[in-house]
Structure 1
Amino acid sequence: MAILFTLIGYVVYGAMASLALWGAFCLILTWRRVTQTRFRNEAEQNEFFEELEPPLNGGKFDVAAELCDDDRRAMPQLALYAIENRKVGMNRLQRRLVERFQQDVLADIEHRLSWVSTVSKSAPMIGLFGTVIGMMGAFSNLSSGAQVDTGKMAEDIMFALITTAMGLAIAVPLVLGSASINIQIRKMEDLVSVGLARLLDNMRTVVGRG
């Protein structure tokens, strides 16, 4: 029985280590994705539009498209899509732009973030499983009928406490990181909403004039 508890202990430690690495990896990837996709503030977005609007309003769509093509952030890519599909009609274009932002940007980020959430929820549960296993080992030692091995009992209780602490140590940073990323996502959505309104106003002017 003691060997079984020891083997389960190694499995729990391995699972906790794997969760910690996977959660940190997903969190870093998601953070990088959000950072690479959004403008840092409205002033930075305004600088982009100040550079884009002269060729766009002048009907130089190739020049405007080239400015957007080199910028992989969400708003420039949406502007590029709008330029390339300017002839589909403004109502349809507006709907497609919103759908594209949801599918190509937000869906990808939320998929990555869902893994972080899964790890942050799973780690305390595996930690609790380790706690139960550790206490079972301690009580098994007590009920053996032989002289109680206090050293072994201390190891089992320590294992129970360590797994609990590990679960919390993994979950808490991930929860805080996820909350921070969600704030950045909300800010990006607000900036993109403002940017789309400005872009569509310019497109209506250009298309109407053409």
Structure 2
Amino acid sequence: MDITGLTQIFATSMYGALALIALWGMYCVTMIWARVAQKRFRNEAQQDAFLDAVEEPLERGDFEEASEICESDPRALPQLAYLAIENREIGYSQVKQLVVERFQRDVLADLDHRISWVNTVIKGAPMVGLLGTVTGMMGAFAKLAAAEKVDAGAMASDISLALITTALGLVIAIPLTFCLNSVNIRIRKMEDLVAVGLTRFMSSLREAIATEAMSELEEIQPVRSSK
């Protein structure tokens, strides 16, 4: 097989590569979108309603009921609240650090991983398209060099087909760029909402832990006094 045939085969294979790249980019964006929707409250009013429900048993010192409310909710704030309640024995400052680290690791790190793949697709798709174009034009010019008579129409057709891969790469990258910007806005909103909710919850938890400690101290002191 001559160089013309090889370059045409390689250029044609770029269409398949671009299709796979486009599918992977769409999959990652969809997964990010679904993940954010799963982990966030729709608005601050819903989050406040959840916090009101959790703070009520905390004020009574009923950590078990508060834990049950949080455990069944898959969103980020309830799961972080559940983690904090279950580990309250280690102390407020350590619980706070644990919650922040878990949010970074379990939620944000996973989103960052998928976002990095979308960025790779956005940068890589035009490059793959350009590679297909260059290869296709190499084949067109090789065909031109081997021909005894120049057919301008055939040459223009070959070059036009070669340029399609670059256009496809841009068609993949441009919509994904807008989608990624939209996703990043949703993630920032989720972070802000979770931060506000955690601040309020941790304040309530600190008061509940302090009240629990005082109650235990009051139970111990009469025993010592009687001795």
Q: TM-score, normalised by structure 2?
A: 0.88
Corresponding residue for 2:89? 87
Corresponding residue for 1:73? 75
The correspondence for 1:167, drawn from 166, 169, 174, is 169
Gaps of 5+ in 2: 213-227
Q: Specify the code of the residue in structure 2 equivalent to 1:188.
A: M
After superposition, the C-alpha distances for 1:123-181 in whole angstroms (9 at most, x for unaligned) are 00001111211222222233225112445423321222211110001001111111111
1:29 Cα deviation from its structure 2 partner: 0.8
Contact 2:4–2:140 (Cα < 8 Å) also in 1: no
Distance 1:135 1:3 in 2: 12
Distance 1:79 1:43 in 2: 18
Corresponding residue for 2:217? none
Corresponding residue for 2:18? 16
Corresponding residue for 2:138? 136
Contact 2:137–2:158 (Cα < 8 Å) also in 1: yes
Corresponding residue for 2:126? 124
Q: Secondary structure at the match of 1:146?
A: coil
CA 1:41–1:189: 2 relative to 1, 3 Å: same
Contact 1:141–1:148 (Cα < 8 Å) also in 2: no
Gaps of 5+ in 1: none
Q: Specify the code of the residue in structure 2 equivalent to 1:38.
A: R
Contact 1:5–1:133 (Cα < 8 Å) also in 2: yes
Contact 2:11–2:162 (Cα < 8 Å) also in 1: no
1:55 Cα deviation from its structure 2 partner: 1.1
Distance 2:82 2:175 in 1: 37
Distance 1:203 1:38 in 2: 21
Residue 180 (structure 1) aligned with residue 182 (structure 2) = yes
The correspondence for 1:105, drawn from 107, 119, 129, is 107
Contact 1:123–1:171 (Cα < 8 Å) also in 2: yes
Distance 2:149 2:58 in 1: 86
* Count of residues in correspondence between the two structures: 210
Distance 1:10 1:160 in 2: 9
Q: TM-score, normalised by structure 1?
A: 0.95
After superposition, the C-alpha distances for 1:24-69 in whole angstroms (9 at most, x for unaligned) are 1111011100111111221111111111110122111111111111
Distance 2:95 2:40 in 1: 21
> CA RMSD for the aligned pairs?
1.3
Q: Secondary structure at the match of 1:143?
A: helix
Contact 1:20–1:170 (Cα < 8 Å) also in 2: yes
Contact 1:57–1:206 (Cα < 8 Å) also in 2: yes
Corresponding residue for 2:157? 155
CA 1:152–1:145: 2 relative to 1, 3 Å: closer
After superposition, the C-alpha distances for 1:85-109 in whole angstroms (9 at most, x for unaligned) are 1111111111111101000110011
Q: Secondary structure at the match of 2:146?
A: coil
Corresponding residue for 1:6? 8
Contact 2:28–2:118 (Cα < 8 Å) also in 1: yes
Contact 1:141–1:149 (Cα < 8 Å) also in 2: no
Corresponding residue for 2:208? 206
